[in-house]
Amino acid sequence: MKKGFTKMDSAVVIDPYEPEVRLIRAINSASVPKMFSRLKIALLDFKYIEGLKKEKLDEMTNKFWLPYYFYFGLALEKDGQLQVAREKFAKVIELDSNSELAEKVRQHLK
């Protein structure tokens, strides 16, 4: 796991402005058990993506945004930020209510 974290962290150092690199690290960091202390890194990456230049983010499609909002919601939930997490989950349904991730959101919220 530590080698994988090191590789992901190195990828961000090499290309810190690439949203997909940040998203992959954020999702992986948010998905590991708490003992690895990666939730803070995940939240920083998700928030960093929101702060990127608009023209960079305009290139991104729902293939990027659906997992972004879904996993950001899960990370926020883990951090105890339940209301903000629900807002991120709502964005998944808003973007594509028929997507697989929208269905996962509906199941998760039950």
Residue ranges per structural domain of the chain: 2-109
Predicted confidence at residue 70, as pLDDT, reads 97
Question: In whole angstroms, what is the distance from residue 26 CA to residue 107 CA?
Answer: 22
Q: Report the candidate in 97, 6, 8 with the shortest Cα–Cα distance to residue 45.
A: 8
CB 12 within 8 A of CB 22: yes
Predicted confidence at residue 50, as pLDDT, reads 86
Question: In whole angstroms, what is the distance from residue 91 CA to residue 36 CA?
Answer: 28
Q: What tokens were used for 102?
A: 């929208």
What architecture is domain 2-109?
A: Alpha Horseshoe (1.25)
Predicted confidence at residue 11, as pLDDT, reads 95
Q: What tokens were used for 21?
A: 């690199």
Tell me the pLDDT of the chain (110 aa) as tens digits: 889 999 999 999 999 988 999 999 999 999 999 999 999 999 999 999 988 867 677 778 899 999 999 999 999 999 999 999 999 999 999 999 999 999 999 999 98
